[in-house]
Amino acid sequence: MKLLFLHCDYIKFKPLKKALKSAGELSENEKKEQEVKECLVVLTAVEKGDSVKNVKDLIENVKDVAGQVKAKNIVLYPYAHLSSNLANPEIALHVLEESGKQLKKDFEVYRAPFGYYKEFELKVKGHPLSELSREIPASKIAKSILSGEIKIESKGKESVDEKIDIKQLLNEISKSRLDTSKLRDNDHRILGQQMDLFSFNEVAPGMVFWHNNGLVIKDELIKFWKEVHKKQGYKEISTPQVMDKRLWQISGHWDKYGESNFLTSYNNRPFIVKPMNCPGGMLVYRNGTKSYKDLPLRVGELGIVHRQELSGVLAGLFRVVQFTQDDAHIFCTEEQLEEEVIAIIDLIDFFYKKFKIDFDHIELSTRPEKRIGSDKDWDKAEKLLESVLKKKKMKYKINKGDGAFYGPKIDFHVKDSLGRTWQLSTIQLDFSMPERFELEYIDKDNTRKRPVMLHRVIYGALERFIGVYLEHTNGRLPTWLAPIQVRVLSFTNRSDKYARQVIKKLSEIEGLRIDSDLRDVPIPGKVKDAELMRISYIVVVGDKEEKEKTIAVRRGGKIKAFKIDGFVKQIKEEIDKRQSL
């Protein structure tokens, strides 16, 4: 960390506009010009390898200098220009926030907004101590990780002399950051808490911790996907999570995204955590000779990919760093292309009708500046996608320059609870990846030809789809997708025995997700809990039901009496047919 101390008569500063997309919003007061008199301005650049561990050093330095110049007012001023090796903004902000908090014990502390362009004016006192610079080295551990030098010696000796304070670390990673004050009631992050679906933790920014209930939804969506795709003639593969850098140089991902990929190494060879499934799929295609009879070859992969995003833009399940794509690649001849694109559009239509989600709009994204492949191929590809859209009489708008770096695409967008739109399905046409990987098939006349390919996803990212779908339904999922499909409640403890008989009978339905609430508390409380969990059917049994051998079934506020067998038949059919609500 680099620090420049300026002992000033005054400093005035005013934020102008965001310098970082991820910068937080400012309050009305923070937007105004601020003036602090008789102060020690601490221009600060937090560098790679720094962490909250360096806060202690920063405080010591501030106390030292402030003591010498007898300053009572401290202005913490983020100043990136002191270093060319800056930490990522989230860490820098965290260090500054923490330093500010701790300095408040001894000083009047002011913080200039982080991540904004600011105009500022200050008058430095002329005395010998009025300008001082200090450098705080990054912690030893962080430094050795950065330089790849970390070594743990085998004889139980730690090569780093720092003692690790587990309690402190646990405290650091246990902070929950979800601020629900600005969220709508049907925001998927609130539903996620109420229904116990998933959580996030700062040890893995933008990566989902799926709880049992959330994983049920994800798995059911995958099961449905697999059944439909099998019927549509898709094969399925699974390729490795990390692969040699050379593969990504061939595919072009290295050139395009470079170090913003997640990098790792093995046997002194650089590896990349896959940001896309395609290159792995190319290798599977190359493994064995293909004939024209194999085409069109439709190969699906529910692959987990990682892409670096600025931490400030991460938003629950909508924008994540790690996600599961319902990817597929279709290898075919140019003549087969149109039919295949139409088939994908029909498949997308089938899925979204099933979920009763309407698209907000459809975009045709054309060639970006940074791209691979010849202009001739781009012309052909863009023309083909547009002609299919016209043929299908679909409304679309052109999104100029926003295509993938290997081809143009058709994107399908939907709205969330705040009216923002998110891309889910996409179809991308690609002439260049088969070229780069020298894919071939043997044609009728025994000559080797190059296939073209389509990349496509239907859900897009399972995570984003689930977020959008939760908001569309306010968590009231169709029964086949509901994490808990039936909950049995006893009116009073007198009915517990009958309730157990009912549970036993209903549990004969294979795979039914059923639980019970036989607590000795008033029934309205139990019903409320079950409704908050968005359980499909709330079955209540009391004296009356026991006598009549029936059950009272609650759904969406309405109550209906059933014979058990009748209910079994109805719910079984509903789940088997994956009925929509």
Name the residues annotated as catalytic.
278, 307, 325, 327, 329, 409, 455
Question: Is residue 299 near Zn ion by the rule CB under 5 A?
Answer: no
Give one DSSP letter per residue of 253-283, joined into a string: HHHHHGGGSEEEEETTEEEEE-S-SHHHHHH
Q: Does position 328 bind Zn ion by CB under 5 A?
A: no
- The smaller minimum CB distance to Zn ion, of residues 414 and 453, is found at 453
Q: How near is the Cβ of 333 to Zn ion at its closest, in Å?
A: 19
**C-beta of 277: minimal distance to Zn ion in Å?**
6
Whichever of 89 and 280 has its CB closer to Zn ion, that residue is 280
CB closer to Zn ion out of 136 and 278: 278
Residue partners of 424: CB distance under 8 A and separation at least 6 = 412, 413, 414, 457, 458, 459, 460, 464, 465, 468
Q: Whose Cβ is closer to Zn ion: residue 95's or residue 461's? A: 461
Stretch that binds Zn ion, among 86-94, 244-252, 277-285, 303-311 (CB under 5 A): 277-285
Distance between CA 322 and CA 308 in Å, rounded? 9
The answer to whether 384 touches 391, Cβ cutoff 8 Å, is no
Decide: residue 444, CB within 10 A, 0-12 exposed, 13-18 middle, 19+ buried.
Answer: exposed
User: Which one of the spans 215-223, 300-308, 336-344, 447-455 is the region binding Zn ion (CB under 5 A)?
Assistant: 447-455
Query: What's the DSSP call for residue 484?
Result: -
Q: Which stretch binds Zn ion (CB under 5 A): 124-132, 149-157, 273-281, 513-521?
A: 273-281
The 357-376 contact track toward Zn ion, x by CB under 5 A, reads --------------------
Binding segment (CB under 5 A) for Zn ion, from list 185-193, 449-457, 469-477, 541-549 = 449-457
Using the contact rule CB under 5 A, the part of the chain among 148-156, 272-280, 444-452, 520-528 near Zn ion is 272-280
Q: Considering the rule CB under 5 A, would residue 298 count as an interface residue with Zn ion?
A: no
Find the shortest distance in angstroms from Cβ 322 to Zn ion: 17
Closest C-alpha to 389, from 356, 454, 344: 344
CB 578 within 8 A of CB 480: yes
- We find the least distance from the C-beta atom of residue 387 to Zn ion, in angstroms, to be 22
Burial class of 397 by CB neighbour count within 10 A (0 to 12, 13 to 18, 19+): exposed
Q: Judged by CB under 5 A, which of 253, 455, 464, 554 binds Zn ion?
A: 455
How far, in Å, CA of 495 to CA of 543, rounded? 6
CA angle 410, 378, 397 (to 5 degrees): 30
Q: Find the shortest distance in angstroms from Cβ 308 to Zn ion.
A: 18
End-to-end CA distance of the chain: 57
Strands 108-111 and 73-78: parallel
Longest dimension (CA), the chain: 94
Among 278, 347, 453, 535, binds Zn ion (CB under 5 A): 278
Residue 72 to residues 41, 61, 297, Cα–Cα distance (Å): 11, 14, 72
Nearest to 12 by CA among 48, 39, 46: 39
Binding to Zn ion, residues 390-409 (CB under 5 A):
none
* Closest CB 239 distance from Zn ion, rounded Å: 11
Applying CB under 5 A, does 7 fall inside the site for Zn ion? Answer: no
Q: How far is the CB of 437 from Zn ion (least distance, A)?
A: 12
Question: Counting contacts by CB under 5 A, is residue 458 touching Zn ion?
Answer: no
Query: Does 487 sit near Zn ion (CB under 5 A)?
Result: no
Judge whether 444 and 292 are in contact, CB under 8 Å: yes
Q: Does 253 bind Zn ion (CB under 5 A)?
A: no
Pick between residue 327 and residue 545 the one whose CB is nearest to Zn ion.
Answer: 327
Beta carbon nearer to Zn ion, 5 or 406: 406
Q: Could you tell me the two tokens for 18?
A: 């965001």
256 binds Zn ion (CB under 5 A): no
65, 130 in Cβ contact below 8 A?
A: no
**Residue 541 is a binding residue for Zn ion (CB under 5 A):** no
To Zn ion, the closest distance from the beta carbon of 430 in angstroms equals 8
- C-alpha 134/C-alpha 3 separation (Å) is 5
Binding part of the chain for Zn ion, among 80-88, 304-312, 364-372, 453-461 by CB under 5 A, reads: 453-461
Backbone angles phi, psi at 422, to 5 degrees: -130, 145
Of the pair 43, 453, the CB lying nearest Zn ion is at 453
Site track 133-172 with Zn ion (rule: CB under 5 A), x = hit:
----------------------------------------
Per-residue string for binding with Zn ion, 405-444, x by CB under 5 A? ----------------------------------------
Minimum distance, C-beta of residue 236 to Zn ion, in the bound complex (Å): 15
Q: What angle do CA 458, 462, 464 make, to 5 degrees?
A: 100
Sheet holding 486-490, edge to edge: 514-517, 486-490, 537-541, 550-555, 558-563
Q: Which residues bind Zn ion (CB under 5 A)?
A: 278, 455
